[in-house]
Chain A
Amino acid sequence: MSVNGTSSGKRSALAPLGKPFAIVGGVLAVVAALLPWVTFGLNDGNWPDKSTLQFFDAPFEVTGFRWHMLLLGVLILVATFAPIPSRGRVIRALGWGTALVSFVNGAYITVKGGGLAAITALDGAVAFGSIAGLVAGVLTILAAYGIGFEPVGQWKVKLSTPLAYLVLLASFAAVLYAVAALLTTGGVGAANPYAGAIFLSFLGFAAGVLGALSGVGFIKWLSALSEQHRVFSVIVLAACALLLPFTDAGNEYWMTVAANIGIYAATAIGLNIVVGLAGLLDLGYVAFMGIGALVAANFSGAATAHFGIALPFPVAAIIAAIVAGIFGAIVGSPTLRVRGDYLAIVTLAFGEIFTRSAQNNIGGITNGSNAIPGIPQLSLFGAEFNKSLTIGAVKLPAGVLYYVLIVLLVAATMAVFANLKFSRIGRAWIAIREDEDAARAMGIRTGKMKILAFLIGATLAGLAGAVFAHKNGTVSYESFKFLESVTLLAAVILGGMGSIPGAVLGAALLFVLPEKLRDFADWRLMIFGLALILIMRFRPVGLIPDAHRRAEMIERADENAEEAHEEAKRA
């Protein structure tokens, strides 16, 4: 990070203004939360009679994103005065949160409300909320540059085991709450016309608060704590995932979406082995998922299946995984001779060959563009997986069993990944990633290891594909094209290569966003492309970088920052 070099000039100019700017920014954010945000009702009528958009236009009333603004403003003020570590980073994150919330809502009102009059003044009504918020955000970000960026705070607090368990429990409960809130903000699907904007606004708020928590050192401390009590953390996390159906997000729609996310998350973890651990770029990875899905579909007893036999799901899933694994080894075999970018092209070529062959119904097993429909739903003890379930007095939403199955799938994939990563094989992969020639010199059989990476990654994808086939009930080559491969790769990179929670978070973001952004359906992929460019530009390590990768790419910068800080203290 170039924080030292580039900001030193700015710092000298802004230094005396740091604190005043932060105070003004915080106060302004609080004020913005209380101001009206829109000059007229958006739904065929003037405020307040016909407007359904209280969220935006209720003045002096704190609801929805106004709560977020208020909270951000108060947090900025607290961060300005409280003795916290790395004040600059915290304030910068909060400033970005404020600016994003203001920008999203302001831009939405402007676009939907017909021009700038909607957020300034019209017919005697004034609404400067969004502008005040934006100014507050910008001022706060500037203030952060004035205050300067100390290294991320180090917490030396040691906890006794029961207390640590309690903290972890509380934190994971908060995570569960946040996930449920993220899924349910803005209502379900297209039910709420403002869903997209409300969701983006919430995302801005969440990003600001998370950034502040990470700046103050809490996230680092928490992840160290959970690393210390790894088994307990995993159990609690799994329990939290299984509790999701009992929260507000427990309805059929979100069970379906969450299950889809889970399938892609499991696939992304598999890809993470190939890309994140072994450092082999794979641009045709989704083909393995497609192979798994096609194999499972053909053995499912669907009417159009090529083989007229219906195998029980576990058997079909295992066959799917094995077949995908074999193809993985075949695709991986060029790694013996091909490296780097060229390998990426070979995998791309294999992916395209798969798509083309499947499209042309090769060997009559893919059914081409007609797809294989009517794959039977899974069932267990007579309970069909897509039906709702009643346990005792609690009625669980439809699709909950798929959700549970997929949570287990993701957990299993995570376990495989974690065990491999910290094993001899995983270390060999990381060594190959860092320097293949050195790894070979150290006695690692690089060829075997690289093919193994492809094989295991493809097996996991094949397994996920088998579940995908049954859950969606139909398999078409359309679901496994180049763009899906790129999306999966983006999920891995966005989350942080080589990091397990990163892959899940990345998959969740990339597959939830389209659900939430139906308003922007046409622009979705364009935003996706832009996001890829911006991520590579500003945060190539991803949102939750793997500790090892982080050490490579950031810590050196942090050390420099620390040294500079020490010097500044001495002077």
Chain B
Amino acid sequence: MSVLLQQLVNGVMQGALIALIALGYTMVYGIIQLINFAHGEVFMVASYGGLATYTWLLPEDLKKVPYVALPLMFVGGIIVAVIVAVIMERFAYRPLRNAPRLAPLITALGVSVFLQEFVRNVYPNATSNLPYPKVFPEGALSLGGVNISKTGLLLVLLSVGLAVVLQTYINRSRMGRAMRATAQDPDTAKLMGVDPDRVIVLTFIFGAVLAGVAGILYGGYLSNINIDMGFQTGIFAFTAAVLGGVGSIRGAVIGAFIIGLIKTLAGQYMPGGTQYDYVWIFVVLILVLVFRPQGLFGEPERVRA
């Protein structure tokens, strides 16, 4: 029983991490119908950005004060992620906005490979796992035989909190309305005075901020990072976004928790164990796409004229 509970807790924590990235996928797809394959790499780059901030920018005495070091790492990681995302949108995706749909998808693959290799070549020792600094709350709360790591708790709180903030922003604010309008019908939105370029850049920036938070927390939760983390976690996040219904904020978060739970529970209980947890996630993805392509919360896709 406590094994099951422990795996449920782990699953929720993994899900919270995936949710932060899945939100970026779902927002970008909702607005420009682009599967931004490179979003996982933005998350990876942010993680390295945070590490770089800690290693080279923070003075030695501040490194020992987690209450200062951790927020500054978040800031560093987020800034790197946002810069990368904005450059990527401006120079890779924007010129292709009216191109055939295959073109931006392949560009996204190219950006993904480029970012991964760039970090591999430029960041010192990036070819091996890099340890993440210990500025996160250490230890775990013990609750009836179940260990809840404090970093994991922070992860869940931040993830759910940010998702709620985002949802509120999109539903309530003026800019959020512009985003929803652009997602529904870009041309009409333009006629109504919405600047689509601005909306799209802002969407990328929001996605990058969330990915930045996720990048730092990933390092804290698993205590080391490598350049492959972006691709793997990105695929999980994308699966979560699809599962929840691409374009839906709530769907992405719930989908992410489901994926996290599938991963840990399948690793524990399915034949093959953790070696095959990855496979089960893809099996779920395929089944969802085949039997409910609009996802759990998405609208059925209209055929575009």
Contacts and interface: CB of A to CB of B under 8 A. Distances in A.
B107 A530 contact: no
Interface residues of B, number: 45
21 contacts: A281-B102, A338-B293, A341-B33, A341-B35, A342-B242, A345-B238, A345-B285, A346-B290, A349-B239, A350-B286, A352-B282, A437-B303, A483-B113, A526-B113, A529-B111, A532-B107, A532-B109, A533-B110, A537-B96, A540-B99, A540-B100
| Residue among A489, A522, A533 facing the most chain B CB atoms (10 A cut-off) | A533
A533 B104 CA distance: 9
Contacts of A509: none
Contacts of B154: none
A164 interface: no
Interface string A470-510: 00000000000011001001100100000000000000000
A536 interface: yes
A514 interface: no
B207 to A, nearest CB: 17
Contacts of B282: 349-350, 352-353
A349 B285 contact: yes
Nearest to A343: B289
Contacts, number: 118
Interface residues on A, range: 35 or more
B289 to A, nearest CB: 5
A338 B246 CA distance: 14
Interface of A: 281, 334, 337-338, 340-342, 344-346, 348-350, 352-353, 356-357, 360, 437, 482-483, 486, 489-490, 493, 522-523, 525-526, 528-533, 536-537, 540
A337 B290 contact: yes
Given A342-B242, A356-B275, 16 more contacts: A337-B291, A337-B293, A345-B35, A345-B238, A350-B282, A357-B279, A522-B120, A522-B121, A523-B121, A526-B117, A529-B114, A529-B116, A532-B113, A536-B103, A536-B104, A540-B99
A268 B131 CA distance: 40
Interface string B33-44: 101000000000
Given A334-B290, A341-B105, A529 B278 contact: no
Give the secondary structure class of B's interface.
helix
B293 A342 contact: yes
Nearest to A338: B289
A183 B291 CA distance: 50
B103 A352 contact: no
B248 interface: no
A356 B285 CA distance: 15
Interface in B224-261: 231, 235, 238-239, 242
Nearest to B272: A360
Contacts of A537: 92, 95-96, 107
A213 B109 CA distance: 33
